[in-house]
Structure 1
Amino acid sequence: MLIAEDIVLLVTDDETGKKASTSTGLDAALAGALLIELAIRERVELEGKGRKAKVVVRDGTPTGEPLLDDALTRLSGSAPFTPTTAVNRLSNKIQSRVHDSLAERGILRREEGRVLGIFPVTRWPAADSAHEAALRAQLHDALVVGVDPAPDVAATICLLRAGDLLNAAVDKADRSVAKKRAKEIESVTWASDGVRQVVEAANAAVMVVVMAAATMTMVAGAASSG
């Protein structure tokens, strides 16, 4: 399973198939997850530092994972992108692509319906919840109990925090301690230097997208009230 697929499972209600989180950071977090997975597989790396840092494709060999190979194609064949531009580029229709992937794996079930009998809508209820249950147990151990997480779980936690999606991963009573613990996990070295650089850049890019969306919402609200 990919980190992006794990995040979608966490924010999708098993019974209704509706998105349980309203965070504007979901698309960005999923795109950041693809970027990190490519770094783990040594397909991309970060070149340069600060504002001059760029995401560079070092190996265009397919990974065998359709979602990652599509992301690799989107990042190849042009000048290197800044991390934020790379995240925005990978965000296009990302939720639908991840949903389709999970349906092909037999984990989610696609249901077509209509709202008010007029507007078409697609829901994604769970077909097999075993993987998500195991993932939630790992997240609880890491975020509430304090167990050191495996690298993929640590990356998931970092992206959930960056995308303001952490509430979807833990029970309401545990959210305060989970947020504090997630920040601690971000500061621990659990990946190689090269991967770590991409993780930090991806997290920062996700946060930029989230803040930009929040600012636009505030401006729009102020304009409508004025």
Structure 2
Amino acid sequence: MPYGSLSLPMRIFLLAWDTGRNRIAGAPDLPYAVRACALAELAQRGLVSDVDGIVTPVFGARTGDAALDSLLELIEESRPRKWRGWITHKSRHTLDRVRDQLVAEGFLRTERTRILWIFPSRRYELERAGYVEVLHAEALAVLRGPVPVSEVPAGDAALVVCAATGKLRGVIPGKERRQHKDRLDELTERSGAPAPGLPEVMRRLRKALASAVTAAEAARSGGSGGG
């Protein structure tokens, strides 16, 4: 499978990978960013929408993608939630599904190991570092230009917005986020290009992701400060 055909949640998972250290780095809230990308892709496909602030699915609709369809089923079966609620609720469920997909597609490999030589565990390693390096370069090109925002594919725009808002520091450091703030605003609008009303959905999704990350950072800070 060429990397360009990967779903948005699969691509953002790979973006968080540090190819030098062969592990995820600089992405403490990756589950939220992955879930936000899944919601963005479903919205761009017209399979979820915003009804009075509530994430509303097209009941019975499926994509053929395991992680996206699992999220659709979860939304269908659960009580109504707003965008932030769906970014945080069981977010690791989507991340685990995405990781399994990447293993199945040969982007990651897994090794069985043991913690303290007793407890069984799994270790994941990157198999296709070249794909990830290209993905990093293209994400930065979308963020920095010089390609006009109007020519950026909506999916690429959503990917970069979620990576920046989700604070994947390994690919988009804080300095880059601040330097390209205006372009990120434009990319948010661009990510909603596929349908009328979608730009507002993408603005709400971005705001919800930022709020979830800020709350997680505050919780970590409070936990370390309270010790």
SS in 2 for 1:168: coil
- How far, CA to CA, are the matches of 1:215 and 1:159 in structure 2? 19
Determine if contact 1:113/1:122 at 8 Å carries over to the other structure: yes
The answer on whether the counterparts of 1:16 and 1:125 sit within 8 Å (CA) in structure 2 is: no
Question: Do structure 1's residue 159 and structure 2's residue 158 form an aligned pair?
Answer: no
TM-score, structure 1 as length reference: 0.83
One-letter amino acid matched to 1:124: Y
Aligned residue type for 1:168: G
Q: Give the superposition deviation at 1:143.
A: 2.4
The amino acid of 2:37's aligned partner reads A
The Cα shift of 1:64 comes to 0.7
RMSD between aligned residues: 2.4
What's 2:32 paired with? 28
Match of 2:125, SS state, is: coil
Shift of 1:213: 1.5
CA shift for structure 1 position 214? 1.7
Unaligned runs of 5+ in 1: none
Between the aligned partners of 1:92 and 1:177, the Cα distance in structure 2 is: 27
Q: Output aligned runs, 1:34-183, within 5 Å.
A: 34-48=38-52, 53-147=53-147, 148=149, 149-165=152-168, 167-169=169-171, 176-177=175-176, 179-181=178-180, 183=182
**2:108 alignment partner, SS class:** coil
Is the contact between residue 43 and residue 58 of structure 1 (CA under 8 Å) also seen in structure 2?
A: yes
5+ long unaligned stretches in structure 2: 1-5
Q: Give the percent of matched residue pairs that are identical in Structure 1 and Structure 2.
A: 24
Distance 2:37 2:90 in 1: 10
2-structure distance, mates of 1:14, 1:96? 20
Once the two structures are TM-superposed, the CA of residue 220 in structure 1 deviates from its matched residue by 2.2
More displaced, 179-188 or 100-109?
A: 179-188
Greater strand share, structure number: 2
Is 86-95 or 208-217 further displaced after alignment? Answer: 86-95
Amino acid at match of 1:169: V
1:67–1:98 Cα contact (<8 Å) kept: yes
Displacement after TM superposition at 1:69 (Å) = 0.5
